[in-house]
Amino acid sequence: DTGVSQNPRHKITKRGQNVTFRCDPISEHNRLYWYRQTLGQGPEFLTYFQNEAQLEKSRLLSDRFSAERPKGSFSTLEIQRTEQGDSAMYLCASSLDYLEQYFGPGTRLTVT
Amino acid sequence: AQSVTQLGSHVSVSEGALVLLRCNYSSSVPPYLFWYVQYPNQGLQLLLKYTTGATLVKGINGFEAEFKKSETSFHLTKPSAHMSDAAEYFCAVSDAGGTSYGKLTFGQGTILTVHP
């Protein structure tokens, strides 16, 4: 069990470019969550997968954001036409149940 | 809707002193409550959780928290601070198996500084 991994750890992009982040959950975990954390704030929920099904999306997830979890394994989060306001830490977490989510180290996005 | 308020964005204590980090929550259903710790450049790590049963819960690294329903609070304590406790701490709530699928609602965080 190597924990939740996220790649890349850091991403710098220019405004208007598309970016994609990857999350590899703990192998037996069927639940996967994405959160966004801005400086000085707690993480905010973005979206949730149970196996390959995306069951909930936050209003924070505008139409420029899309997430997938093909085959219920790894997940990707894509942001199209990035804006400076998208600069944040993007956190992924996985779990077996409601009781404990295991977080990855995050991907820090900087939009210039 | 659920919400979490952490009183004090920064708390400073001396090594060996009591640590008290305050958390109040709002929830329309019985909540599950969590404390997470985040060290620089690392992901969040679960310290402890309350689901049902005993209202005083013990976690890792000597931390504990008490669920007080009447006060809607879940304050985190540690009798004696250690330098290694310096980090940011987040309180979080989720509904107990409701329609939110266990998503966490976090407070804004409290940065704990420990002085020698």
Strand B105-106 and strand B87-95: pairing?
antiparallel
User: Which DSSP letter does residue B30 get?
Assistant: P
With a pLDDT cut of 90, the percent of chain B lying above it is: 78
Per-residue pLDDT for chain A (112 aa), expressed as one digit of tens each?
579 999 999 999 999 999 999 999 999 899 999 999 998 899 999 999 999 999 989 988 889 999 999 988 999 999 999 999 999 999 999 998 877 899 999 999 999 9
Residue of B44, B90, B93, B110 to mutate when probing chain A, most A C-beta within 10 A:
B44
pLDDT, position B97: 61
| B102:A97 CB<8 A | yes
Question: What residue type is B48 in one-letter code?
Answer: L
The DSSP line for B60-79 is: GGG-EEEEETTTTEEEEEES
pLDDT at A108: 96
- Other C-beta atoms lying within 10 Å of the C-beta of residue B45: 15
Sign, Cα dihedral of B94, B100, B103, B104 = negative
- Interface size A-B, in CB pairs within 8 Å, comes to 64
Q: Each residue of B36-81: pLDDT tens digit?
A: 999 987 889 999 999 888 899 999 999 999 999 999 999 999 999 9
pLDDT per residue as tens digits for the range A41-71: 999 999 999 999 999 899 888 899 999 999 8
Neighbour tally for A18: CB within 10 Å: 11
Q: How far is A14 from chain B (nearest CA, A)?
A: 23
Please list every residue in chain B whose beta carbon sits closer than 8 Å to the beta carbon of residue A106: 43
Residue A91, pLDDT score: 97
Contacts of B88 in chain A (CB under 8 A): none
Measured distance CA(B41)–CA(B69) in Å, rounded: 34
